[in-house]
Amino acid sequence: MLIDSHAHLNMDPFRDDLDRVLERARAAGVGEILNVGYDPRSIGETIALTERYGEVYAAIGIHPHEAKHWSDELEKKIKQLLLRKKVLALGEIGLDFYRDLSPRDVQRDVFRRQIGIACYFDKPIVVHCRDAFRDVIDILRSEGAMSVGGIFHAFSGGIEEALEVMELGFLFGIGGPLTYRKSRLPDVAARLPSSAFLLETDCPYLPPVPYRGKRNEPAYVRFTAEKMAEIRGVSVEDIERAAEVNYRTLLHGIRDYPTRIAYRLRNNCYLNVTGICTNNCIFCSRLRTVNFLYGYNLNLVTDPTVDEMIDAARGLIGSGGCGEIVFCGYGEPTARLKEILDVAAELGTTGLPLRLNTNGHGNMIHGRNIVPELERHFATVSVSLNAPDRYTYRELCRPDAGEGVFDSVVDFIRKAAASRMKCMVTALDYPEVDIERCGALVRSIPGATFSVRRYHLSSPVI
């Protein structure tokens, strides 16, 4: 389901055809819309929309432009409305130093007051920030907004700003500007964890290409989803699923998502083999407190059994649309060599090619060359290298077995590249990874191919 997490359907551009606008949204697959009130009038209109349309929910608050109109009476009204079931968030609130339609000190004071209200009512915050990033971040932090989280609406910052937003536990509202030719948003959107973004329109504003210059509406959120999929190299369904789970977790408080053993990603079937790893890489998403990948909960409590992996994979493959079966996980699959060979023998009967994603530690773990056993079942082995030498590997990948692991990984690559399997070697474009030297090393090995994987930002473990 697509969700428009920021709309203004109460505005004048929708007065004459709102029903048709919502019909087009439903036809485009939009199942929920968060309408955002920003002043006394729009708050009342937003509440009315939630009563009229089942798919419309509300966020209410006082925009920084309207901060000069704040009063005790208005505060009381907002508090009363926050008790309503369909009022999911407090916003949009924040600071706007671009237009300065309210005095800056007043904006700051009203922003602080509303954060306090949100924390009291345990409601997420929808943040408006324009030319005031440092002040917004400092106020959110000092007022304890991390306890409720929220959305940075229409985020327009760079990587450094994105890291600060993530440190607060806030999500990013990604809208039409993602599709603009001169926007820097694609650079940030490409690096975000899949658990860190929502899709929005801000309609009637900020329409995506090809509707730029026209009225925006919720149906157009699909164009943003398509662009996001293109940028990140996944399917539109992957983006849609991720954004929906992120939205429902934050806005509806849904947190009980079943752990997935098999999951569909990039139109392939992925098997979540293990969460136990022989590396402790400084860039690994396994170190995050919440390991959700494009809406899938991959936090294994215990490693799945052979039968569980086979049943989960067959159930997913049975629904169609899988081009490859990929053995992976947040750990090292070859640590469970017998299990993955048993599963591969069974799933090989499906006719789909099998790929193994590995750190290349299998020979070291088992004290023998396991490549002949792998090549009986796997068409492809993909090895994550991430370092061109022993010292760098030790510093970045932090293997349990120490510095000598690097030589074992290179030896595994040589043997895999000489086998019947296609041998793909990758390195992450993490700042401290020397991509050129990694590529040169791999290209010196006959039969091995090299590619670069994109590093996704990660927030500190809290």
CA distance 37 to 9: 10
- The domain boundary residue, chosen from 200, 224, 251: 251
Boundary of a domain, candidates 223, 251, 279: 251
CATH of the domain at 412: 3.20.20.70
Cα 251 to Cα 325: distance, rounded to the nearest angstrom: 34
Question: Are 212 and 304 in a shared domain?
Answer: no
CATH of the domain at 15: 3.20.20.140
Q: For residue 320, with 0-12 CB atoms within 10 Å meaning exposed, 13-18 middle and 19 or more buried, which class applies?
A: exposed
Question: What is the three-state SS of 357-379?
Answer: EECCCHHHHHCCCCHHHHCCCCC
Q: Assess whether 135 and 31 both reside in one domain.
A: yes
15 and 35 share one domain = yes
Specify whether 247 is located in the same domain as 268. Answer: no
Predicted local distance difference test score (pLDDT) of residue 146: 97
Q: Tell me, yes or no, whether 388 lies in a domain.
A: yes
279/247 same-domain check: no
Tell me phi and psi for residue 30, to 5 degrees. -85, 115
Q: Domain for residue 363, yes or no?
A: yes
On whether both 239 and 387 belong to a single domain, the answer is no
Given this model, what pLDDT does residue 191 score? 96
Q: Is residue 327 part of a domain?
A: yes
Number of domains in the chain: 2
Q: Is the CB of residue 17 less than 8 Å from the CB of residue 212?
A: no
Question: Can you tell me the distance from the alpha carbon of 184 to that of 199, in angstroms, rounded to the nearest whole number?
Answer: 17
Let me know if residue 217 belongs to a domain: yes
Residue 458 forms part of a structural domain: no
CA neighbor of 271 nearest in space, from 309, 305, 234 = 309
Q: Same structural domain for residues 358 and 236?
A: no
312 and 195, same structural domain?
A: no
pTM for the whole thing? Answer: 0.96
Residues 170 and 206 both lie in one domain? yes
pLDDT of 29 reads 98
Q: At what angle do helices 40-52 and 72-81 cross, to 10 degrees?
A: 20
The pLDDT value recorded for residue 460 is: 46
* Any domain includes 365: yes
pLDDT average per 10 residues of sequence, the chain (462 residues): 98 98 98 98 98 98 98 98 98 97 98 98 98 98 98 96 96 98 95 97 98 97 98 98 98 96 96 95 77 94 97 95 94 97 98 98 98 98 97 96 93 98 97 97 98 84 36
Question: Do residues 199 and 239 both lie within one domain?
Answer: yes
Q: Where does a domain end: 204, 222, 251?
A: 251
Does 193 lie in the same domain as 324? no
Angle of the 72-81 helix axis to the 104-121 helix axis, nearest 10: 30
Domain that holds residue 99: 2-251
What whole-number distance in Å separates Cα of residue 270 and Cα of residue 272? 7
* Residue 256 maps to a domain: no
User: In this structure, are 304 and 389 located in the same domain?
Assistant: yes
What is the model's pLDDT at position 321? 84
Residue 461 lies in a domain: no
